[in-house]
Amino acid sequence: MLLREVDYARPATVDEAIALLAEHDGARPLAGGQTLVNVMKARAASPDVLVDLAELEELRSIGFGSDGRLEIGAMVTYAQLVSSSEVEVARPILGEVAATIADVQVRNRGTIGGNVCVNDPTNHLPPLLVALDAHFTIRGADGERTVDASDFFQGVYLTAVGVGELLTKVSVPPAVSGTGDGFAAVTIGKHGTCIVDAAASISDEGGVGSTEPLESRGAGSADARAGAVRVVLGCVAPTPVRATTMEEGLAGAELSEAVVRGASEGLGATLDPPSDVHGSADYRRALAETLAVRAVLQAASRRTA
Amino acid sequence: MGTQPASSLAVSVAVNGEQIEEEVPARRLLVHFLRDDLGLTGTHVGCDTGNCGACTVHLNGEPVKSCMLLTVQVDGAALTTIEGLAPDGELTPLQRAFNEHHALQCGYCTPGMLMSASALLERNPHPSEDEVRVALQGNICRCTGYVNIVEAVVAAGRGSA
Amino acid sequence: MTTVTEQPTTLKRGYVGQSLPRREDKRLVQGQGTFFDDVRRHGMGYVHFVRSPYAHARILSIDVAKALELDGVYGTITGDEVAISTDPFFEMSVEPGGLIEDYALAVGRTRFMGEPVAAVCAATRELARDAADLVEVEYEPLPALVDGEEALKNEVVLHDDAGSNVVWSGVFSWGDVDQALAEADHVVKIERLHFHRFASTPLECAGALVEYDRGTQEWTIHCNHQMPGVGAIWMAPSLRVGIDKLRFVTQDIGGGFGNKICLHPQFVVLCLLARKLGRPVQWTEWRTDQHTANAHGNERTFLAVEVAVKADGEMTGFKVRAIDDCGAFPRYEPLGCIIWAQVTPGLYGWRNIQVDFTQVCTNKSPVSPNRGYSRMQHLWLTERIVDIVAAELGLDPVEVRKRNYVKAEQMPYETPNGCVYDSGDYAAALDLALDLIDYGSIEERRREAEGRGKLLGIGIGSTLDSGTNNFGQSTLLNPDLQFSGNNEAAAVKLDIFGEVVVTLGTVPQGQGHETTAAQVVADILGCPPEQVNVRRGHDTWFNTHAGFSGTYASQFAFTGLGAVKGAAELLREEMVQLAAFVLQAPEESIELAEGMARVKDGPEEAALPFMALGAIVNANNAFLPPDFNPTLNHRYVCRPYFGVVDTEKKTGQLTLTYATQIHAAVVEIDPDTGEVDIVDYAAVDDCGVRINPQIVEGQVHGATAHAIGAALSENFVYDEDGTLLTANFYDYHVPHALDMPPLKTGAMESPSPVAPLGAKGMGEGGGGGIHCLCAAIQDALRPAGKPIVYDSCNPPHRVWSMLRDPGSTRANVTVVSK
């Protein structure tokens, strides 16, 4: 409950922050603190220097890039995701899932950047962002680079953000015609920590989205053939897991419940999830299949016309 | 707030309308600063992992858990604690509603509950029962089962406290 | 939302019976309560305990040198010092359990993860924490014992002094169960049932600020101990001082639920440090410490249950072997080995019962009486029995209950072991509960849920909240113990300006004692409650108290308010005598009403305000005759009458009042995930006369929330190394606002013929929630292979396992029919 001695700095610009992170060996960025402060209270980790990102206004914006992608600054809070009209219009699943994270107090402080950079296997946003084909922009002393989701999440508490670097923004494609997203989880109590979760995203042929209205393709949204389907599981491995066999089985298919269930069979057997007080590995395998189906069906039912 | 890391910093923060200037160790949690340094013991500690919400205060008007903040993070901000809800001793309609509806037993979670509930009522003056439960999800109570707490907040929202 | 069915009583009520808003609230809603951690003393030091990382280990050495070098550290203390300056705590069991040596810190060996092995005191909380990291302890790990049945083998023995892990064992036998089994039409056998480890986890953790007066050698302990009378009985001999050297002061307490009864080990450490360092010392328990090392509820395994059932569904008897796991040190145990016997047959008319009871030590946190203490475990057994019997024999669970419930016309009812159920109408309470959840529509709702892919079930949980303990029950465990009866004290005085002041020995942790005591006094003295000031909290020096003072065991309405009533009546009598003298009127003509003592129907001048009476006695008493010496200050000790227990037959009145709670729940289960959703819930309470109905209902809500948490998620789980896996609120999930179902409550009043106000103690009846949720889950899962619910905690993964493999739970149960 009581922290070890630590040094603290609050830089005024991103470049200053990066310089501090590079200069001090045991330096960690402090975003919302809803995980890091807990970790420091437990003395499970004790950085020497905390670099508080609170003043970095450029990391707090939500807007659209020139490529049409929805761009979310790393310091945007869960509460801001929930109330953002840009998010609601462009990719509402982000706000809906953010609204189930913990509670109001945590959502007022916790950030999207913190959530993904911690990469705790039970965090909601990593599997969701993998399903949405998110890109992650990282800035270091040498400049900026953008990494896609499969390269960003590398291991438990491990991401592509290196020493002396900062995640500055996360971007996702806007939901265009034919896109549908879903998320399903079993948690420890309502809005609690995830035991297993699954995220799914459906888009038209080609994966990014067709501009043709769905009706002209001659089917209701739930039965329309899917283009690309991304199904991602969380809590079952050090990083989010793409259910690739299931995805292949669903690509171009009619997304009826029977078809989706059929495609999910055998998914559990490919996983090696942990066993703990909240469930055995077998339980998590079964949940993975069930929740993958639910996420896909939810995504299918929400495909925009 | 300088850009050079320091283990102890000067903090200037408004607490319940009063400007406080103190030199504070970087590692001191806000809840301990409020309780031990400022003597504002109405804000409580109930857990050590940021789950229970007994430490809830308003940071620039928003409810946050003060056990999950370092004091140095609130330099330049404005805080309201339970002591600031009814500074002149006259209970607010929300506090009166808690009394009328028996929304507290041991009273330990109560300051945190009131801070979360009052923030809700500022934004949403007439919340439904579900909206109240969502707003109080970060505040644990082991005495009341939340039944009368939710009833009290809804009643305060209806002005029927 | 409440539906009330009142039964007429003869008690005249004014303020008693009203839902007066609480006076405690004014300070609490403003954050102006005084909890122990709010108390400061100049020069105080903060204490942090160094705790064992092993479940079982020899302590080879402790080196505090580096800790002492840290600037701001005031001092340390280790187990070796404790062993020199204190004696082990008083043990209640017979040998071998009674030979266990329990000191304030681990001495030579540590027996549970998180056990304090040393303590550091420093100028700030953070420094104490830092210094604790610098204490170097060398351990030699030993095998960890984490299973109660394994403990019986005595392969790993925790306490060499005892030579055995058995704390206590004995067989209780009443009637003739073997005969009943032989004559039964069906014998239902259940191999194993398990009641899990959990606790009420009050939001305020334990702690104290201790000051030592070097001149008088007295300690003042500002704390939240909920049973200071007993705390002192443990601590004083250990510290080798007289009991008057320990002053306990409690003010506001953030919940207790029994989890703040066994705080004496840590408090002794604080007393030693305060004396050694010559300054006040303060310790605040952290949440992780409370979960790991303070107070779990008793974990109990029931084996080889056999139930005798007649063809018409009458249950005539049962036998069981119970193994109670009390963790590393008994402390308040082995009282749990007898307290269940207050409700031996549960709510049912069984006359032939045999319980083979053994309590063992394991390398887990010591237990402490937890809300429902020991009765809850046993009542869960009786309810599981009823539901399993009903399920296996194809009987209706409602009908089986009504057939076997003790009937209202049998009250007061003497159980096979001599306890007397004072009053109650279980069948009527059950009907009220079923009505509240619209029982008639269950089958329709089941079909509707099935259409949505959900399994719906309904369950009933009957429970008794036995209150007002006879401490003589301890002699049934150890005939050498010198404990019997019970008591509580209160004092009521009339002050010089007419204010009535009440002090209590009780230690409220949210039960509203200040308010309800004022209601009782106001009715007796004929004044408004606002004129009655009740001093909060317990103070060994300044408030009145008796040996058993505290707040526990559902007895405040009896002993606490009984003491208040007794003291107020003594005061009343004197006020009448004084008024009669002053007004020169006969005593029978004097009434106390509206804050005045006056002649009934007399002229206006024939009246004295209370202030006048107070002033006369305190400041203007020369004209009173020499043989009339009113004090207007009376202390009364409520001593409930029990009679003596029979240590041979193990019978007797172990408790005096029995409040009833009947819970009913409707659940929907997701068959793919095992998640249980409570869609309807009702709790009916009958605690006799309700002093303050709103306060009673609040207790029902809170106890129900505790039960829901325990039944669906709260579990203190250990791995095979003795590491507690659920040490914080992430993994030990308690209900939050969104987890609670809509709760309907109902109330009945069957006044107690034995309680001073007809009011029974209540507050612990929430075990009913565990019973009914287990029943509802079992009922919901019936179409999926009829699995048996065998554990009291059923989180999603367990429900899923039962769905996946109902057979392995069914292997637990056999029915032998004639």
A278·C673 Cβ contact <8 A: no
Closest approach of chain A CAs to the CA of B62, in angstroms?
Answer: 7
Q: Are C721 and C782 in contact (CB under 8 A)?
A: no
The SS3 assignment for B11 reads strand
Give the domain CATH number at B146.
1.10.150.120
Indicate if the pLDDT at residue A74 is higher than 90: yes
Residue C26 lies in a domain: no
Residues of chain C with pLDDT under 70: 1-12
Q: What pTM was computed for the model?
A: 0.96
Taking CB atoms and an 8 Å cutoff, what residues of chain C touch A4?
A: 130
| pLDDT computed for residue C553 by the predictor | 82
C-alpha span between B82 and B109 (Å, rounded): 11
Count other C-beta atoms under 10 Å from residue C588's C-beta.
9
Burial class (CB in 10 A: 0-12, 13-18, 19+), A83: middle
Residues C746 and C599 occupy one common structural domain: no
Q: Give the nearest chain C residue to A192 (CA atoms).
A: C730
Residues A48 and A187 occupy one common structural domain: no
Residues A137 and A271 occupy one common structural domain: no
Scanning C254-293 for CB atoms below 8 A from B yields: 254-255, 257, 284, 286-288
Residues B80 and B97 occupy one common structural domain: no
The count of structural domains within chain A is 2
Interface size between B and C, measured as CB pairs under 8 A: 181
Closest approach of chain C CAs to the CA of B154, in angstroms?
Answer: 14
C-alpha span between C88 and C603 (Å, rounded): 68
Which residue is associated with the tokens 């040198």? Answer: C65
Domain region containing C514: 487-534+544-638
Residues A236 and A261 occupy one common structural domain: yes
Tell me whether C115 touches chain B (CB under 8 Å): no
Q: What are C204-248's pLDDT values in tens digits?
A: 999 999 999 999 999 999 999 999 988 999 999 999 999 999 999
Tell me whether B63 touches chain A (CB under 8 Å): yes
| pLDDT computed for residue A77 by the predictor | 98
| pLDDT computed for residue A212 by the predictor | 42
| pLDDT computed for residue C554 by the predictor | 83
Q: What are A37-63's pLDDT values in tens digits?
A: 999 999 999 999 999 999 999 999 999
Which residue is associated with the tokens 């929304």? Answer: B103
Residue from the list A190, A280, A291 with its beta carbon closest to the beta carbon of C736: A190
Residue B20 lies in a domain: yes
Residues C549 and C627 occupy one common structural domain: yes
Give the domain CATH number at C784.
3.30.365.10
How much of chain A exceeds pLDDT 90, in percent?
A: 89
C-alpha span between C75 and C277 (Å, rounded): 7
Residue from the list A40, A49, A190 with its beta carbon closest to the beta carbon of B5: A49
Taking CB atoms and an 8 Å cutoff, what residues of chain C touch A283?
A: 674, 797, 800-801
Residues A102 and A216 occupy one common structural domain: no
Residues B60 and B20 occupy one common structural domain: yes
Residues B108 and B62 occupy one common structural domain: no
Residues A76 and A143 occupy one common structural domain: yes
| Residue ending a domain, choose from B52, B84, B116 | B84
| Residue ending a domain, choose from B84, B116, B133 | B84
| pLDDT computed for residue A105 by the predictor | 98
B50·A38 Cβ contact <8 A: yes
Residues B55 and B114 occupy one common structural domain: no
Reading the block at residue C308, the tokens are 């005798």
C-alpha span between C524 and A186 (Å, rounded): 56
A189·C736 Cβ contact <8 A: yes
| pLDDT computed for residue A224 by the predictor | 53
Q: Please name the amino acid found at residue B101.
A: H
Of the candidate ranges A164-168, A269-273, C7-11, C224-228, the one whose mean pLDDT is the lowest: C7-11
B89·C30 Cβ contact <8 A: yes
Domain region containing B120: 93-158
Chains that touch C (3 or more CB pairs under 8 A): A, B
Give the domain CATH number at A111.
3.30.465.10
Predicted confidence band of residue A205 (pLDDT cuts 50, 70, 90): low
A105·B72 Cβ contact <8 A: no
Residues A165 and A194 occupy one common structural domain: no
Please report how many Cα atoms fall inside a 13 Å half-sphere around the Cα of residue C48, on the Cβ side: 21
Integer CA distances (angstroms), A279 to A24, A285, C35, C794, in order: 40, 10, 38, 12
In sequence order, which residues have a C-beta less than 8 Å from that of residue C283 and are 6 or more positions away? C46, C47, C48, C49, C119, C207, C208, C266, C269, C270
In sequence order, which residues have a C-beta less than 8 Å from that of residue C502 and are 6 or more positions away? C490, C491, C492, C517, C518, C521, C532, C533, C534, C535, C564, C567, C568
Residues B79 and B110 occupy one common structural domain: no
A290·C673 Cβ contact <8 A: yes
Residue from the list B26, B53, B120 with its beta carbon closest to the beta carbon of A6: B26
C-alpha span between C482 and C792 (Å, rounded): 36
Residues B79 and B113 occupy one common structural domain: no
From first to last of its 161 residues, chain B has per-residue pLDDT tens of 557 999 999 999 999 999 999 999 999 999 999 999 999 999 999 999 999 999 999 999 999 999 999 999 999 999 999 999 987 889 999 999 999 999 999 999 999 999 999 999 999 999 999 999 999 999 999 999 999 999 999 999 998 54
Angle at CA of residue A249, ends A244 and A253, nearest 5°: 135
- The dihedrals phi and psi of A160, each to the nearest 5 degrees, come to -75, -10
The count of structural domains within chain C is 3
In sequence order, which residues have a C-beta less than 8 Å from that of residue A157 and are 6 or more positions away? A118, A119, A120
Residues A123 and A137 occupy one common structural domain: yes
C-alpha span between B135 and A99 (Å, rounded): 11
Residue B63 lies in a domain: yes
The count of structural domains within chain B is 2
Tell me whether C442 touches chain B (CB under 8 Å): no
Taking CB atoms and an 8 Å cutoff, what residues of chain A touch C675?
A: 186
Indicate if the pLDDT at residue A223 is higher than 70: no
Residue C15 lies in a domain: no
| Residue ending a domain, choose from C579, C608, C638 | C638
Tell me whether C792 touches chain A (CB under 8 Å): no
* C494: β partners: C500
Predicted confidence band of residue A211 (pLDDT cuts 50, 70, 90): very low
**Could you tell me the end-to-end alpha-carbon distance of chain C, in angstroms, rounded to an integer?**
48
Residue C539 lies in a domain: no
Q: What is the dihedral of CA A66, A71, A74, A80, to 10 degrees?
A: 140
In sequence order, which residues have a C-beta less than 8 Å from that of residue C715 and are 6 or more positions away? A277, C196, C197, C198, C726, C732, C793, C795
Torsion sign, CA atoms C755, C758, C764, C766: positive
Indicate if the pLDDT at residue A219 is higher than 90: no
Tell me whether A8 touches chain B (CB under 8 Å): yes
Interface with chain A: mutation pick from C800, C802, C803, C805, highest number of A CBs within 10 Å: C800
The bridge status of strand C420-421 relative to strand C413-414 is antiparallel
Q: Give the nearest chain C residue to A193 (CA atoms).
A: C730
Reading the block at residue C230, the tokens are 């007993």
Give the domain CATH number at B33.
3.10.20.30
Scanning B27-86 for CB atoms below 8 A from C yields: 27-28, 32, 35-36, 39-49, 51-52, 54, 81-83, 85-86
| Residue ending a domain, choose from A174, A209, A243 | A174
- Would you say the ipTM is above 0.95? yes
**How would DSSP label each residue in C729-743?**
TTTSPPP-GGGPPP-
| Residue ending a domain, choose from C610, C638, C666 | C638
Domain region containing A282: 180-301
Please provide the average confidence, as pLDDT, over all residues in chain A. 93
Residues A90 and A207 occupy one common structural domain: no
Taking CB atoms and an 8 Å cutoff, what residues of chain B touch A104?
A: 63, 116, 119-120, 134-135, 137-138
| Residue ending a domain, choose from A152, A174, A196 | A174
| Residue ending a domain, choose from A174, A197, A224 | A174
| pLDDT computed for residue B87 by the predictor | 79
Which has the closest alpha carbon to C716: C332, C56, C201? Answer: C201
Residues A191 and A143 occupy one common structural domain: no
Taking CB atoms and an 8 Å cutoff, what residues of chain A touch C795?
A: 278
